[in-house]
Amino acid sequence: MSGIFFATTFAISCAGPAAAPSPSAAPPAPTVAPTAAATSCPAPTVAPTVAPGAGTAAPTLLPLIPENTNGCITVTKIPIPPIAGKTASIDILDIDQQAHMLYVTDRTDNGIDIFDISTPTAKYVKTIDTGSGPNGVVVAKNVNKVFAALNDSNIAIIDIAPGSSTLNTVVAKVSTGGKKRADELDYDPKDKKIYVANSDDGIVTVIDATTNKIVKKFENVGDGLEQPRYDSADGMIYMTSSDQNAIIQFDPTKDVLVKKFDVGTKCNPNGIAINPTTNQAMLGCSSRSANSLVLWDIAGGKVLSTFEQAGAGDAAIYSAAVDRFVVAASNFNRGAVAAFFTGSPVKFVTNVETAVGSHGIALDETNKIVYTQDQLPNEGALFSFPLPK
């Protein structure tokens, strides 16, 4: 363990986006517990922060709709010591709900940042060096491994077996053979297989999670491959394609591509979250012109409804423990938000303001804490906040 670091709490206004820190502010010393900031919720007076690489001009935003946004909620800023004072470049977050560990893909330090989330206040544990910037990450609990997809097209395999002599180290790497990054991935715990999308190469790679060997590779799947998601209801893998505005179905028992569904409605899906009880999926539509989210009928292969309360999103998750869909709508035209929906029936609950660049999402089901990245300039941190009721 590299040490324990505590979090800063502050308040995000429910009527405006998070303000960037003052350029002259020095990064907090990681070994000192910061004091809590004031928790009042003033009206917004600052322009939204532009995410890294998004250009220099701030986006033109519409006003927030108060009834769609949670009342003032306390947001915790969780320092990531290796990147203190830097602008974080973080993609996916995943949680081992049983071991109460949070895994964060951190391209700024080329590693997987691990946090102990056994309490509501996350504590930094260590960073696992993956040698190349990680994008996707998934916990494969029944084989005691974490798989991370890297910028160099490799998959890093991390040992998480309790008591192991190689605990929390990279024990193997598997090359997908792509020329560009390996991106999102998901785990089929029944067949013990990892499905990996190489978003820019049009490749989907299947890895046996027990042997760490490639068992299948799909070529020419198309552009803009995004999030694969295992559906325990029908045993299939469903992968989004933003560029093709499509959902691609794979059968992992036979490792065959079954069908490609045209979403039809303007969506350009990045994230997909599946409720296996209803066999419905919330799509994290990335389209900035549509600025909406889509509820997808998996069995029928069609759109069930759209939601205008949030849009221009990315990662999406479903938690059966709390029966909630959550979408990180970090480019929504009314300001970056995490959007919450009930799982059955699917109804909009509320939005919680985040920041441009807060496009990953994870939920600690024990403590009911939501995590996303803080990509505000020079902060090197995560955001966390209580699950809205």
pLDDT tens figures, 336-386: 999 999 999 999 999 999 999 999 999 999 999 999 999 899 999 999 999
Supply the DSSP symbol for 24: T
Give the Cα separation of 177 and 194 in Å (integer): 16
Q: Binning pLDDT at 50, 70 and 90, where does residue 39 land?
A: very low
Using CB atoms within 10 Å of the CB of residue 2, give its burial: 0 to 12 exposed, 13 to 18 middle, 19+ buried: exposed
Whether the per-residue pLDDT at 43 is higher than 60: the answer is: no
Q: Binning pLDDT at 50, 70 and 90, where does residue 21 land?
A: very low
Lowest mean pLDDT among 41-45, 252-256, 304-308, 380-384: 41-45
Q: Binning pLDDT at 50, 70 and 90, where does residue 59 land?
A: low
* Average pLDDT estimate for 209-220: 98
Q: How many residues does the chain have?
A: 389
H helices present in the chain, as ranges: none
The tokens of 295 are what? Answer: 């509820």
* Average pLDDT estimate for 202-230: 98
Give the Cα separation of 94 and 91 in Å (integer): 10
* Average pLDDT estimate for 295-302: 97
Q: Facing residues of 319 across strands? A: 324
Q: Binning pLDDT at 50, 70 and 90, where does residue 26 land?
A: very low
Phi, psi of 166 (to 5 degrees): -110, 25
The pLDDT score that the predictor gives to residue 15 is 37
Lowest mean pLDDT among 32-41, 127-136, 202-211, 236-245: 32-41
The pLDDT score that the predictor gives to residue 14 is 40
The pLDDT score that the predictor gives to residue 366 is 98
The pLDDT score that the predictor gives to residue 62 is 92
Distances, alpha carbon 34 to alpha carbons 58, 88, 331, 344, 370, in Å:
30, 19, 30, 40, 21
For residues 56 and 150, the model is more confident at 150
Phi, psi of 81 (to 5 degrees): -50, -40
Among 332, 314, 328, CA closest to 363: 328
The pLDDT score that the predictor gives to residue 106 is 98
Say if CB 153 and CB 180 are below 8 A apart: yes
Whether the per-residue pLDDT at 232 is higher than 50: the answer is: yes
* Average pLDDT estimate for 58-71: 82
The pLDDT score that the predictor gives to residue 375 is 87
Q: Binning pLDDT at 50, 70 and 90, where does residue 64 land?
A: confident
The amino acid present at 9, given as its one-letter code, is T
Phi, psi of 324 (to 5 degrees): -135, 140
Whole-model pTM: value is: 0.88
Among 107, 104, 143, CA closest to 126: 104
What is the share, in percent, of the chain residues with pLDDT greater than 90?
Answer: 81
Whether the per-residue pLDDT at 19 is higher than 70: the answer is: no
Among 184, 272, 179, CA closest to 219: 179
Whether the per-residue pLDDT at 89 is higher than 60: the answer is: yes
Phi, psi of 43 (to 5 degrees): -65, 150
- Per DSSP, the three-state class of 370 is strand
Phi, psi of 221 (to 5 degrees): -80, -20
- Per DSSP, the three-state class of 327 is strand
Dihedral of alpha carbons 340, 65, 245, 354, sign? negative
Looking at CATH, the fold of the domain delimited by 8-14+72-386 is given as Methylamine Dehydrogenase; Chain H (2.130.10)
The pLDDT score that the predictor gives to residue 58 is 54
Lowest mean pLDDT among 38-47, 52-61, 63-72, 166-175: 38-47
Task: Output the average pLDDT for the chain.
Answer: 88
pLDDT, tens digit, for every residue of 167-195? 999 999 999 999 999 999 999 999 999 99
Element (H, E) at 383: strand 381-386
